[in-house]
Amino acid sequence: MELIQDRATLREGLSMVSADFVGTEPAGVPYGGEYRGDTAFLDLLRAVGKHVSMRVHDLNVHDLDETVSRTGIQRALAEITADMVHLSTGETYPLRALEIYSVRDGQICGLEVFYNDSKSAGEFMLN
The total number of structural domains that make up the chain: 1
For residue 118, is it within any domain?
A: yes
Phi-psi sector, 74: left (phi>0), alpha (psi -120 to 50), beta: beta
For residue 2, is it within any domain?
A: no
Q: Which domain holds residue 112?
A: 7-126
Q: Are 101 and 87 in contact (CB under 8 A)?
A: no
pLDDT value for 72: 80
For residue 76, is it within any domain?
A: yes
| pLDDT tens for each residue of 102-116 | 999 889 999 999 998
For residue 40, is it within any domain?
A: yes
For residue 68, is it within any domain?
A: yes
Enter the pTM of the model. Answer: 0.83
CATH number where 108 lies: 3.10.450.50
